[in-house]
Chain A
Amino acid sequence: MKTKSLLSFSPSGIYCPEADVQIDPWRPAEKAIITHAHSDHARYGSKHYLAHKDSEAILRLRLGNDISLQTVEYGEPFYINGVRFSLHPAGHILGSAQVRAEYKGEVWVVTGDYKLQDDGFSAPFEPVTCHHFITESTFGLPIYHWEPQETIFAEIKEWIAENREKGITSVLLGYALGKMQRILTRLAPLDYPVFAHGAVYNVNERLREAGYALPPIQQVSEVSDKKHFKGALVLATGSALGTPWMKRFEPYSVGNCSGWMAVRASKNRLNTDRGFVLSDHADWNELNRAVEATGAENIYVTHGFTSVFSRWLNEKGLHAQELKTLYGVEYETENTLSEA
């Protein structure tokens, strides 16, 4: 990559030398622009953070109340050393943003994570035209095609109803930030008791306190009598699977919400009862549509199927290359259960 380039790729992340600012760095930086509050993108230890205002509550929850954080609205420009930056909705989770950087007529966009489908809770994705586009590729294989979320939520509702009929608990697993808010708002009205694992509860409560429209949920650890779980919905993260913590819900059925559930082997490996193909990332067609909509000729492919997706784009006549980053590493090491 040219050294004169507006954004470059350093060992600690995506770097803008002109503005001396890092985007989603995985090492502590002087100034860090954060695309969204998932822990593989928003890491501890930078001196100053800048993010969308909807990321604030969770960034402070996770990185500390006292971090130095500046927030902006979508589309609101801010200048650092003459470089014009702005954030644009990425549709991934609440507050998720694409970072647009412009200098001397050259425009770069960093997506962080994104999806094109409007989940009804996060601000929906907006395409931003640019010359250089840095895209994720978590589901960058043509086997990943999401069904409309109405179909998936109908499946989830049917599963919960069946479980209630049998008098068993429905335990639904997914990422605490993003997936769970999507689920809660989409399943509403909730005419049955809902409980949450501490990780899910903390995020939900913090967002409710900050004024986001989410239903109140009760924390599992506060329930002493197991019979309250009968026929209830329990929301937990993937890390709960196979732990003694689950025992209190017996008898129960476990469903996992993740794009990885599209492949039988991934689902079967986890030994959950159900896998719901619900993702907050772009599927194959969405990735392609997103790339096309930018009009960019230079594409840099980060975390996911980087080599596959960049080769595909190159064959379509674009200049694409793969980038090695640490994004998405978290779920790969934990298990393939959740998607950050």
Chain B
Amino acid sequence: MKEFADLLRNLDRNTKTLEKIKALKTYFSNASDEDKIWALALFTGRRPPRKIKTAQVREWAWEKAGIPEWLFAESYQHVGDLAETVALILPQHNSISQKSLHEWFAELETLKKADDETKKAYILKAWASLSGFELFVFNKLLMGSLRVGVSQTLVIRALSEMYDQEPSGMAHRLMGQWNPFDIRFDELIIQENTAQNPSKPYPFFLAYTIENHVYESISPLEWFVEWKWDGIRSQIIFREGQLFIWSRGEELVTDKFPELHQLAQHFPEGTVLDGEILCYADGHPLPFSTLQQRIGRKNITKKILQEAPVLFMAYDVLEWNGIDIREKPHEYRRSVLETYVAEFENDSIFKVSPLVSWNTMDDLSRLHNESRTYYAEGFMLKRKSAAYQTGRKKGDWYKWKVKPLSVDAVLVYAQKGHGRRAGLFTDYTFAVWKGEHLVPFAKAYSGLTDKEIRELDAFIKQNTVEKFGPVRTVNPLRVFEIGFEGIQQSSRHKSGIAVRFPRILRPRPDKYAHEADTLENLQNLLTVYGV
């Protein structure tokens, strides 16, 4: 595993893309095939399920380190990464283990059915044979997701350069269901597509946020405009008589949406559609929170199917009659969508996302302002002549979202962040006035620059009124403009209101706390925009 740990350390150390690619190439040229497939699985988020409960690992770690549980918890809060915390508190040895990456995984796999004592003995022995960065990497294999300063895009780029393939083709190879226990590296990466797994999705094409010059240059002759729906971006695949649904996060979610399974009876063999899964009733989409609640459920009960019915809103067709048509212009794909795919339209489970008709930019701006009344969060702009590309590319697809709703609110609680933000107060709770009192209504984590975060961190440390575990109550002095996408009534929140995707739009150093908005202001927004 030393080689893999070295690779991760190099990726961690190097901030420059070219250096990272070089490190990846060095690893993929030197490592064994058995190890490489595991490295790929880890880089693409395919770590096998945990064999040992995280709580147990924690307990064994603080026991071994000779510290109480609360001290472990404090340490974890500061480090922000469980695997790293465990590596840092354990007694340090010199690394003696010669085991390779795939050997570790093979051994961990055998623990699945082992009793707790066997598991514990195994882990303690493993810890004693590892140190420093290798110990950290081992803990990551055990329980963490592997975020190591390398994006999947970078891995794809390194591999495509090494094996002289198009990045989009390489991205496609890495998609979908594959398991490092039963696929070889060359099968996945090098061999010509032989028996392809029928469930394999295409890489999603993602849009950039619209830029000023785009408004000025678009015309209805060259651009399609669609509503931007707020659901789960997905791909529906029908191949070899089976239906598969993938979310954009490359998660196979077929089982979560049983009502969509009947689409299998309609689609011709070899169909892949790109679209959005929405909760949908009475001819319009329901708020995202309805879908979110449904996603969170393990069992899809009859009640859920009734209260939160879903519909697939199709945007695009990527494969038709078994032929990959992603390279065809969008206009062509759209005509396939409208001519053939639209045949299966039915108001309850499947629709083709309509185009917005427009002539002038004025029309478009006016309609854009009305997006919320159409249950949309803005527009998607797509160039008619564009192919369906891979990943986030500039030039052909743009998202043009409506301005968020916003209020000015006061910072009242703060908590330390995780990962990159560990050790700094970066998780904030904001409140609005209800008479003399501040009522918390939203938590926000993003929207400040690093410099602003550090400044606020210092403010919080100097202005802590009380500590409740990890949470600090802060003197209510700082005002921020908080933006959000939607607003809803909620019995679970003290404020009676739940907002969707809250984030900090900007600090308001020009405002005193008493000038912040009131709960009444929020309730007015609820009346106008709430569902």
Contact = CB atoms under 8 A, between A and B. Distances in A.
Q: Decide whether A and B assemble into one complex.
A: yes
Interface of A: 141-145, 262-266, 268-269, 271-274, 305, 307-308, 311-312, 315, 329, 332-336
A100 B437 CA distance: 49
A272 B71 CA distance: 30
A273 B15 contact: yes
Contacts of A334: 454
B420 interface: yes
Nearest to B65: A142
B391 interface: no
Contact of B420 (A141, A269, A315, A329): A269
B22 to A, nearest CB: 12
A268 B420 contact: yes
A315 B65 CA distance: 16
Nearest to B417: A265
B168 to A, nearest CB: 30
Contact of A265 (B14, B70, B421, B455): B421
Nearest to A332: B458
Contacts of A144: 88
Contact of B89 (A142, A263, A271): A142
Given A262-B88, A336-B423, A143 B75 contact: yes
A329 B460 CA distance: 12
B419 A265 contact: yes
A142 B71 contact: yes
B12 A264 contact: yes
A134 to B, nearest CB: 20
A315 B68 CA distance: 10
A332 B423 CA distance: 11
Interface in B417-441: 419-424
A143 B420 contact: no
A2 B64 CA distance: 40
B80 interface: yes
Contact of B75 (A141, A265, A329): A141
B511 interface: no
Contacts of B48: none
Given A268-B12, A332-B458, A336-B454, 9 more contacts: A141-B71, A144-B88, A263-B78, A264-B12, A265-B421, A266-B423, A305-B74, A311-B70, A329-B462
Contacts of B462: 329
Contacts of B276: none
Interface of B: 12-15, 65, 67-68, 70-71, 74-75, 78-81, 84-85, 88-89, 92, 149, 419-424, 450, 454-455, 457-458, 461-462, 467
A311 B71 CA distance: 9
B67 A271 contact: no
B92 A265 contact: no
A56 B458 CA distance: 31
A176 B476 CA distance: 37
A311 B68 CA distance: 11
A274 B68 CA distance: 33
A143 B15 contact: no
Contacts of A268: 12, 149, 420
B420 A333 contact: no
A271 to B, nearest CB: 6
Given A142-B67, A273-B13, A312-B71, A266 B422 contact: yes
Nearest to A335: B454
Given A274-B13, A315-B68, A263 B458 contact: no
Contacts of A308: 71, 74
29 contacts: A141-B78, A142-B65, A142-B67, A142-B75, A142-B88, A143-B75, A143-B78, A143-B79, A143-B89, A145-B92, A263-B78, A263-B79, A263-B80, A263-B84, A263-B423, A264-B12, A264-B81, A265-B419, A265-B420, A265-B421, A266-B423, A269-B420, A269-B421, A273-B14, A307-B467, A311-B70, A312-B71, A315-B68, A336-B454
B5 to A, nearest CB: 13
Contacts of A336: 423-424, 454
Contacts of A266: 422-423
A145 B461 contact: no
B96 to A, nearest CB: 17
A326 B147 CA distance: 36
Given A142-B67, A145-B92, A273-B14, A263 B422 contact: yes
Given A141-B78, A308-B71, A265 B423 contact: yes
B365 to A, nearest CB: 39
Contacts of A271: 15
Given A141-B75, A332-B457, A265 B89 contact: no
A273 B20 CA distance: 12
Chain A to chain B: the 7 pairs with minimum beta-carbon distance, closest first: A265-B422, A143-B88, A333-B458, A143-B75, A308-B74, A141-B75, A142-B89
B423 to A, nearest CB: 6
Contacts of A315: 68
A266 B422 CA distance: 7
Contacts of B80: 263, 265
B148 to A, nearest CB: 9
Could you say which of A144, A268, A315, A336 has the most chain B C-beta atoms within 10 Å of its C-beta?
A268
B15 A141 contact: no
A307 to B, nearest CB: 8
Contacts of B13: 273-274
Nearest to B133: A264
Nearest to A143: B88
A271 B16 CA distance: 10
A336 B424 CA distance: 9
A265 B149 CA distance: 11
A329 B454 CA distance: 12
Contacts of B420: 265, 268-269
Contacts of B70: 311
Contacts of A142: 65, 67, 71, 75, 88-89
Given A264-B12, A269-B420, A312-B71, A333 B79 contact: no
